[in-house]
Amino acid sequence: MNSVWRDIVILVSLCPFSLVFSEELIQSVLVEKNKVTVVINSDFKERYLKDDFFVEYGEDVDLSMLDYSITTMPCIMNILSLVWFSGKRYFIESIDSDLFHSLARLKKLFQITYPRTQWDGELIARAIVVNTPSLKVTSDQRALLFSGGLDSTTTSFFHNDKKQLLITAWGQVDLPLNDPTTWSLVKERLVAYAQLRGHTSAFIRSNYFDFLNRYTLNRLSDEIFNWRIETIEDIGWAGLTAPLLFLKGHSVLSIASSDTWDTPYPSAASPFVDGIITCAGIRFEHEQFDLTRAEKVEYLVTLCKNKNIEKPFLKVCSKQTGHNCGECKKCLTTILMLFALKEDPQQYGFFIEKDIALKNAKCLLNGIFKKGSLSLVELELFYVIQKKLKQLNMGGKKGDADFGFLFNFDFQEELLLTKEFKFQKRVLWDELHALFPSIKIPPHYIFKKKV
């Protein structure tokens, strides 16, 4: 039996009675050369979304050359977790064969990481399509998600020996679609970064962030606090970039890490998410999951010194300005680490004096601890800076007395008071490795004692 038809038979046989009760997930799809608009089931949209979905690529992208199973992929992968959560069965016209085989693995991962949440909805395709790219890039080329922040810049520097396709999306929280002025500023900076290093830029415009009803979604489960970060993030990025990667012949996309192996609670951005997704012959690699943000700063500083590389502008701030505010946790922890390494933060895009940065950090930390509830997201960045400063001191480097206030906090004790500790299941890497042994993890995590 042909493998494609075998997959269809398997799919239907798994859900023989549910088909009668299924609804169409997608009402219509409009492809306009480099833009696709997906009109989503009205009831589904009313429950979870604020709008239909669209994505637009550069003028050199012709989506009419792609199969329906790829042009709908950006939308499907940004609402996949909601389909599973819905408890309902939804039809789609077709699905890519690689993605179809990834779904069972992803769903199993969700069931393990969020065990108190029901994931019994189904996505049912009428056909499974094998998509084979007609173009393939050479091994000296690499595609990366690139925001110009600390994480993605570290990944770009890590692959400095390769010609890079740097993919940036317009539509994130700090780059809203209704602010073309800020987008123009950021885009100009990203193009300059790429040109200086001999790379190529590619830009995506989409409402992938705004079309979600985040207020509603963040209240769907008591163990999921940020629906996008914890159930969509890298799955959504894989879908959003797939048409572009397929047409340009890239079979691998590097996605920079935000967390590390020591991050105790789950998200949809980890080697186990990226490593079990394939679509249209494309796979996804989660990069530098072994480095904290403090270690990434040190990596960039060291590399720039040793290789005489121009220091990059790091846009780490989540505020909608295109600049670094010098007041938020991402700005302050990056600035503190640069000062600790005897670097001038202004050379990396942080225009702030040391005494002001220290004052801002103290005020921010005091404000965090005055709140009625603590969050890992608020504390973790300061905790990793504290750990790195201790390592520097133990390594014989003279400590800076100005950072003494950081050592007044017992972050490990405070982390036990966070909402994540109270409501979420800890990530047990050895448990996940047993289910997905192809994902490489550091050996000392495989048999790590369960806490």
Average pLDDT for residues 51-77, to the nearest whole number?
97
Average pLDDT for residues 378-387, to the nearest whole number?
88
Q: Rounded to whole angstroms, how far apart are CA atoms 95 and 427?
A: 30
At residue 284 the predicted structure's pLDDT band, cuts being 50, 70 and 90, is very high
Cβ contact 73:243 at 8 Å: yes
pLDDT at 16 over 70: no
pLDDT at 1 over 50: no
Cβ contact 120:224 at 8 Å: no
Return the pLDDT at 395: 66
How high is the mean pLDDT of the chain?
Answer: 91
Alpha carbon 327 to its chain centroid, in Å, reads: 23
Return the pLDDT at 449: 46
pLDDT in tens, 221-266: 999 999 999 999 999 999 999 999 999 999 999 999 999 999 989 9
Domain boundary assignment for the chain: 3-129, 326-417
pLDDT at 149 over 90: yes
Phi-psi label, residue 370: left if phi above 0, alpha if psi -120 to 50, beta otherwise: alpha
The amino acid at 186: V
Average pLDDT for residues 2-20, to the nearest whole number?
44
Return the pLDDT at 399: 58
Residue 357 has a CB neighbour count (10 Å cut-off) of 22
Average pLDDT for residues 145-161, to the nearest whole number?
97
pLDDT at 450 over 50: no
Of 89, 368, 63, 108, nearest to 245 by C-alpha is: 63
- Which is more confidently placed, 429 or 392? 429
- Which is more confidently placed, 447 or 350? 350
At residue 377 the predicted structure's pLDDT band, cuts being 50, 70 and 90, is confident
Average pLDDT for residues 376-384, to the nearest whole number?
87
Q: Environment class of residue 240 by beta-carbon count within 10 Å: exposed (0-12), middle (13-18) or buried (19+)? A: buried
Average pLDDT for residues 264-274, to the nearest whole number?
95
- Which is more confidently placed, 384 or 240? 240
Of 54, 56, 107, nearest to 82 by C-alpha is: 107
Of 164, 12, 31, nearest to 91 by C-alpha is: 12
Strand partners, 282: 279
Q: Rounded to whole angstroms, how far apart are CA atoms 328 and 401?
A: 22
Return the pLDDT at 14: 41
Average pLDDT for residues 353-376, to the nearest whole number?
88
At residue 397 the predicted structure's pLDDT band, cuts being 50, 70 and 90, is low
Q: Environment class of residue 310 by beta-carbon count within 10 Å: exposed (0-12), middle (13-18) or buried (19+)? A: exposed
Q: Environment class of residue 444 by beta-carbon count within 10 Å: exposed (0-12), middle (13-18) or buried (19+)? A: exposed
Q: Residue 358 belongs to what H/E stretch? A: helix 354-370
pLDDT in tens, 291-338: 999 999 999 999 999 999 999 999 999 888 889 999 999 999 999 999
Residue 235 has a CB neighbour count (10 Å cut-off) of 24
Q: Rounded to whole angstroms, how far apart are CA atoms 365 and 409?
A: 9
Top-ranked range on mean pLDDT: pick from 156-160, 361-365, 369-373: 156-160
**CA of 219: how far to CAs of 107, 172, 215, 227, in Å?**
20, 21, 7, 9
Top-ranked range on mean pLDDT: pick from 247-256, 322-331, 352-361, 387-396: 247-256
To the nearest 10°, the Cα dihedral for 408, 411, 412, 413? 80
Cβ contact 445:430 at 8 Å: yes
At residue 366 the predicted structure's pLDDT band, cuts being 50, 70 and 90, is confident
Return the pLDDT at 5: 43
Return the pLDDT at 4: 45
Strand partners, 128: 95
pLDDT at 19 over 70: no
Of 346, 324, 352, nearest to 186 by C-alpha is: 324
Supply 446's token pair: 């495989």
pLDDT at 20 over 60: no
pLDDT at 439 over 70: yes
- Which is more confidently placed, 43 or 21? 43
Return the pLDDT at 387: 87
Of 80-84, 112-116, 234-238, 427-431, minimum mean pLDDT range: 427-431
Phi-psi label, residue 150: left if phi above 0, alpha if psi -120 to 50, beta otherwise: alpha
pLDDT in tens, 173-231: 999 999 999 999 999 999 999 999 999 999 999 999 999 999 999 999 999 999 999 99
Of 164, 99, 113, nearest to 137 by C-alpha is: 164
Backbone CA torsion sign across 359, 365, 370, 372? positive
For residue 88, which phi and psi values (nearest 5 degrees)?
A: -110, 165
Cβ contact 273:253 at 8 Å: no
For residue 235, which phi and psi values (nearest 5 degrees)?
A: -65, -45
* C-alpha angle 298-190-381 in degrees, rounded to nearest 5: 35
Average pLDDT for residues 277-302, to the nearest whole number?
96
Q: Rounded to whole angstroms, how far apart are CA atoms 112 and 121?
A: 16
Residue with tokens 């340009």: 248
